[in-house]
Chain A
């Protein structure tokens, strides 16, 4: 096992930590932290997986996917923060739990 394998399992564990945060945290800021941990670890995990390929065309495809994911991360983050702010203004929702009010 080389040290890149250790990093591979570390990144899987970090992705798990991000998922745990998204599932369990109840404040907006902690949710953003969890989302960031998840997206950063996933990007790094994907790039390590690209390093395991021996086919150049797969590597190019992987790089394109990483660029796409960076753009997607920015867009999701922008929409998420805008939604948080809109919800906070309309419902005075200090916690995500308050959103249950709009469930009907």
Chain B
């Protein structure tokens, strides 16, 4: 059973990282939104597998709320010409090394320290806030287009 957990963790991890990179690197906006929503679902599954149910629900709700915002923002975003930024890659690799070497801890599944379900109303309020923000933005954009 332990081996299955580790193999599935490796597969999920690789797919999630590739999808996250694809959502940033693809030039077509529909694919980018689709990749980002897939990333959100995969990250929620990872958290479910790790036993953090409430945070998985939070991230799922937040991610789906953000898709509306992104759909509004993509309407006035231009295509990117430049493909890779080597300085950004170097800084990111350095950041990864520092963080990976710094966090030498071993997480354990502990039922007593799982996130408290009291957070659930907060999640819904947050989702409603992002939804209102996205709808507001869409209405303002439509008014702008009409003018």
Contact = CB atoms under 8 A, between A and B. Distances in A.
B32 A7 contact: no
- Tell me if B's interface is mostly helix, strand, loop or mixed: helix
Contacts of A23: 85, 87-88, 91-92
Contacts, number: 207
Interface in B58-101: 58-59, 62-63, 66, 69-70, 73-74, 76-80, 82, 84-85, 87-89, 91-93, 95-96, 99-100
Contacts of A4: 50, 106-109
Given A10-B13, A15-B99, A85-B140, A26 B47 contact: no
Contacts of B51: 51
Given A6-B6, A12-B100, A40-B40, A27 B92 contact: no
Given A28-B77, A29-B70, A49-B105, A44 B55 contact: yes
Interface in A20-43: 20-21, 23-30, 32-34, 36-37, 40-41, 43
- Tell me if A's interface is mostly helix, strand, loop or mixed: helix
Given A16-B96, A51-B108, A85-B140, A67 B122 contact: yes
A44 B55 CA distance: 7
Chain B interface residue bracket vs A: 35 or more
Contact of A6 (B13, B100, B105, B126): B13
Given A23-B85, A27-B77, A49-B105, A16 B59 contact: no
Contact of A41 (B43, B58, B122): B43
B79 to A, nearest CB: 8
Nearest to A74: B126
Q: Which 7 A-B pairs have the closest CB atoms?
A: A24-B85, A24-B88, A23-B88, A10-B13, A59-B113, A3-B9, A20-B92
Given A20-B24, A23-B92, 8 more contacts: A3-B2, A4-B106, A8-B105, A24-B84, A34-B24, A40-B63, A70-B58, A81-B73
